[in-house]
Amino acid sequence: MCYEYVNCSRSWNKRRLHIRIGINSGENAVIELGTRSLIDILGYPMNETAKILPLAPPDHILIGTTTYNGLDAQMRNKLKKLGLKGHDYIDYRTGDSYVIYSFGFSV
């Protein structure tokens, strides 16, 4: 069993794993759906995060404005400001396009 694990991990070392992360902050509601105890999370921050996550290039973190505003200045300086255009990316609070921030990393 251990030998199989080592061989498997060696084959993974030949490949590169790429990840994308979307982060936003705010109030969400956790609700139980139906009688089968399915849980869902609803709210503006969750909706915005779901929209920005697929836009992240490999090995990047995309951060919403609320989370960005909570970061210290040193971290904010490491982020690149991105603007989104299109009707799917309108901030209902301001009527403007979402402003998101990107942070690239390599593993």
Summarize pLDDT for 9-47 with one digit per residue, the tens.
Answer: 556 556 678 889 999 998 989 888 877 778 888 888 888
Q: Which residues, other chains included, contact 9 with Cβ-Cβ below 8 Å and sequence gap of 6+?
A: none
- Burial code of 77-107, b = ≥16 C-beta within 10 A, e = fewer? eebeebebeeeebeeeeeeebbebbbbeeee
What residue segments make up the domains of the chain, in order of their start? 19-104
pTM for the model stands at 0.70
**Distance (Å, rounded) from C-alpha 3 to C-alpha 104?**
35
Per-residue pLDDT tens over the stretch 59-95: 999 998 889 999 999 999 999 998 776 667 777 778 8
4 and 23 Cβ atoms separated by less than 8 Å: no
Tell me which CATH code domain 19-104 carries.
3.30.70.1230
**Distance (Å, rounded) from C-alpha 84 to C-alpha 94?**
14
